[in-house]
């Protein structure tokens, strides 16, 4: 016999009080009952012995932790379908044995001194995991800078103004309020030409790329240096990736026609991770390739708003909205925890991508979408980006100044933009520098971690340094540890 019961919230437990203070009998669990617990009766011995044995097993194995409150014996008796006195006697004996403790007014609980039995199999103690002292991975913005007050204001306004259908099944294309706000913002800030019906809301860049991998056909050309995670998403969708060489002017588009690819994934504003923008001639060349071949350009604009030496370059999508899919998200601008991204797609792809996504929005909540729509429309998003632009520019300047003073033989590659920089290293020194960084308590990676395995480019030595994540109070110490990990001048 088995059943499920919950922790009672009755103020007076019959075992402690010595009387039956349960509520009148009724079907189902008691209102206010807590976490369900599965009690298994073995069928051996009397019912009282079975209840006692099952409770001893639950306590001894650790399934019922010390201090856990048990239901009244009326509740348990009703759920197990046995007599009240049977449960009362079982509780009473377990109290006498020290397994349970009963006090007037606080009910019956698992005794604090009870401990789970040790496992029969000797356990090997795992070595302690040493967490890095400083996170220099180029994955996140400054979490402490999230605009909590402004976001809360937008959330309250969005909740009060939300239409009733916002609390129903989510539209897979996303809330029209957010798509409308993004249409205006992307046109103004990034030069994207689109409309609300051509925008699809998703849970970030990765889900967007996964959907595109299922919607497009053939191979996908990618930059020789990029996130392996993105390549694996395309591979999982059945798309083989073909590497394009990368230099200081971005991806080498001249080689694209020789790949036979039907689509190309680029980071034009700020090549990830090497740091160069796609040169204007190459921007024009990739559009010409797409128009000539019927190919598709997938534009990852992961940090396009953050340019420090000049105004940000507009999106490639603005050159031909019918041949480019533009993808952005809040992961770098606000927080990856929001899980909100967007695609501005050609008309002919909207239906295909929505078919891949399915009939319902699975990941991005309607209220978060409405909050972001208000956050963008009221200007709070622009104000936050201006504030973070100044903060990240100062951090990059501190990185440059520190290296100039402490390690002048180490150069910084790429443009002054984004939330990361690449430190060029002497040939053959990257592996030792990564190990030295680990010993200094730094979480970072070398360029080798981002190189496409099929690339025929000569490998480069370098460290990819994310300066967005460390809090302000720890940034100087992180830079000091970084300098200690760098190779000496030859």
Question: Exposed, middle or buried: residue 372 (CB in 10 Å: 0-12, 13-18, 19+)?
Answer: buried
d(CA 151, CA 138): 24
pLDDT score recorded for residue 15: 36
Mean pLDDT of 315-319: 97
Helix (H, G, I), strand (E, B) or coil at 181: helix
Token pair in block for residue 91? 């509780």
132-161 pLDDT, tens digit per residue, is 899 999 988 999 999 999 999 999 999 999
In angstroms, what CA-CA distances link 180 with 175, 195, 313, 344?
Answer: 9, 7, 23, 12
Give 446-466 pLDDT, tens digit per residue: 999 999 999 999 999 999 999
Q: Is the pLDDT of residue 438 over 50?
A: yes
Q: Distance (Å, rounded) from C-alpha 160 to C-alpha 140?
A: 31
Between the alpha carbon of residue 452 and those of residues 246, 400, 428, the distances in Å are 11, 28, 18
From the DSSP assignment, how many helices (H) and strands (E) are in the chain?
15, 19
Q: How far is 214 from 238, CA to CA, in rounded Å?
A: 7
As a whole number, the mean pLDDT across the chain is: 88
Q: What is the pLDDT of residues 282-313, one digit of tens each?
A: 999 999 999 999 999 999 999 999 999 998 99
What is the model's pLDDT at position 29? Answer: 40
Across residues 432-456, what is the average pLDDT? 96
Q: Supply the pTM of this predicted model.
A: 0.78
The residue with greater pLDDT, 417 or 471, is 417
Q: How far apart are CA 484 and CA 402, in angstroms?
A: 12
Percent of the chain whose predicted confidence (pLDDT) is above 90: 69
Q: Return the percentage of the chain with pLDDT > 70, whole number.
A: 89
Structure confidence at residue 128 as a pLDDT band (50, 70, 90): low
Give me the pLDDT at residue 369, please: 97
Between 212 and 5, whose confidence is greater? Answer: 212
pLDDT digits (tens, 9 = 90+) for 175-195: 999 999 999 999 999 999 999
Domains (ranges, CATH) in the chain? 2-110 (1.10.10.10), 147-379 (3.40.640.10), 383-485 (3.90.1150.10)
DSSP string spanning 95-154? HHHTSEEEETTTEEEE-TT--PPPPSSPPPPPPPP---SEE--TT---GGG--HHHHHHH
pLDDT higher than 80, residue 362: no
pLDDT of residue 30: 41
Question: Would you list the DSSP string of 318-356?
Answer: GG-TTTEEEEEESTTTT-GGG--EEEE--HHHHHHHHHH
- What band does 115 get if pLDDT is binned at 50, 70 and 90? low
Name the range with the highest mean pLDDT among 43-47, 92-96, 101-105, 322-326. 322-326
Lowest mean pLDDT among 43-52, 229-238, 311-320: 43-52
């Amino acid at each position: 016999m088995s059943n499920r019961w919950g922790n009672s919230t009755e103020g007076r437990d019959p075992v402690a009080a010595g009387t039956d203070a349960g509520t009148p009998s009724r079907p189902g669990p008691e209102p206010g009952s807590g976490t369900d617990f599965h009690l298994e009766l073995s069928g051996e011995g009397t019912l009282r012995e079975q209840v006692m044995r099952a409770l001893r097993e639950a306590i001894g194995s650790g399934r019922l932790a010390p201090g856990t409150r048990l239901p009244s014996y009326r509740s348990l008796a009703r759920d197990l379908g046995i007599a009240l006195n049977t449960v009362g006697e079982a509780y009473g004996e377990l109290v006498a044995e020290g397994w349970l403790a009963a006090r007037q007014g606080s009910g019956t609980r698992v005794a604090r001194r009870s401990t789970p039995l040790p496992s029969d199999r000797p356990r090997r103690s795992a070595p302690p995991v040493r967490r890095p002292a400083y996170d220099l991975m180029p994955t996140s913005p400054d979490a402490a800078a999230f605009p909590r007050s402004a976001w809360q204001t937008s959330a309250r306004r969005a909740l009060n103004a939300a239409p009733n259908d916002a609390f129903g099944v989510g539209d897979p294309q996303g809330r029209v309020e957010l798509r409308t706000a993004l249409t205006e913002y992307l046109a103004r800030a990034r030069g994207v030409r689109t409309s609300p019906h051509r925008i699809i809301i998703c849970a970030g860049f990765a889900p967007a790329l996964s959907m595109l991998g299922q919607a497009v056909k053939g191979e996908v050309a990618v930059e020789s240096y990029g996130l392996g995670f993105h390549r694996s998403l395309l591979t999982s969708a059945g798309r083989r990736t073909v590497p394009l060489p990368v230099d200081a002017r971005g991806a080498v588009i001249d080689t694209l026609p020789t790949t036979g690819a039907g689509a190309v994934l680029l980071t034009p504003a700020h090549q990830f991770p090497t740091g160069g923008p796609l040169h204007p001639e190459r921007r024009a060349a990739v559009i010409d390739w797409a128009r000539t071949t019927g190919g598709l350009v997938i534009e990852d604009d992961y940090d396009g708003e953050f340019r420090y030496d000049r105004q940000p370059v507009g999106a490639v999508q603005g050159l031909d909205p019918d041949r480019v899919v533009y993808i952005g998200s809040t992961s770098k601008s606000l927080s990856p925890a929001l899980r909100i991204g967007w695609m501005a797609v050609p008309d002919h792809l909207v239906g295909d991508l929505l078919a891949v996504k399915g009939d319902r929005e699975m990941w991005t909540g309607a209220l978060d979408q409405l909050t972001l729509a208000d956050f963008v429309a009221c200007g709070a998003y622009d104000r936050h980006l201006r504030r973070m632009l100044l903060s990240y520019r100062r951090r990059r300047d501190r990185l440059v100044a520190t290296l100039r003073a402490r390690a002048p033989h180490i150069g910084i590659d790429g443009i002054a933009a984004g939330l990361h920089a690449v430190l060029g290293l002497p040939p053959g020194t990257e592996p030792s520098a990564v190990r030295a960084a680990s010993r200094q308590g730094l979480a970072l990676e070398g360029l080798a971690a981002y190189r496409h395995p099929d690339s025929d480019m000569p490998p480069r030595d370098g460290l990819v340094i994310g300066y967005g994540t460390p809090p302000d109070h720890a940034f100087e110490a992180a830079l000091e540890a970084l300098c200690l990990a760098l190779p000496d001048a030859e």
